[in-house]
Amino acid sequence: MITSFSKASAATLPPETIDYWVTPKVVHIKNDDLLKSYLSLDYKNHTKQMVYASKDRYRSNYDTDISISDKSMSIEIIGHVFPDTVANYLPGWLASMIQNHTAIIDSGEASVDRDRWIWDSIAFVLGDYNKVVLETRNGKEKTNQEIVDAIYNQNRMITPTKLDKDVMLKVVEDIQNNNVNPILLKVF
């Protein structure tokens, strides 16, 4: 049960009935209608609150931080609760599994979560795209590959997972073609 948030105001706390727990290197969140309804009220703030609450609980239980970026965990939560938002970017087997609805969202560190790379790859593009695009070089627009390379280089040292440039390129192309699901854009 969610009980506290270090970064959230009391007025916007989620219902006490949202279920989540932690085990070594993993946060588990029950993926049900209550979670979906709660996130739908305010994708950005409520997703952040779930991330912060989960990380706070992890820190309380294990006296250390879980090694997952806020961006990556946010995208993983949204991707499981609203699977159509990320289906284009996932390998077929993972998209199928998620679309068949996973009852529990297992957001784990790279050493125990074989899918961490996909969430990181999507999250870093969505989180850094505007900043990278605004950093022009000699007044010239960057190519999609240059955008991906810049985002990749900014983040490869801060994440313990590999980043997939092909996935990142798909996300960049969808942003430029206005094909990104609006829910994903609201998270950042």
In this prediction, residue 101 carries a pLDDT of: 67
In this prediction, residue 93 carries a pLDDT of: 82
One DSSP character per residue, 103-168 reads SEEEEE-TTT-TTHHHHHHHHHHHHHHHHHHHS-BTTBPPPHHHHHHHHHHHHTTT-SS---HHHH
In this prediction, residue 84 carries a pLDDT of: 86
Mean pLDDT (the chain) is 87
**At residue 10, does pLDDT exceed 80?**
no
pLDDT digits (tens, 9 = 90+) for 69-115: 999 999 999 999 998 899 889 888 888 878 776 889 999 999 999 99
In this prediction, residue 90 carries a pLDDT of: 87
Query: Once rounded to an integer, what is the mean pLDDT over residues 169-181?
Result: 95
User: How is the chain split into domains, by residue range?
Assistant: 10-187
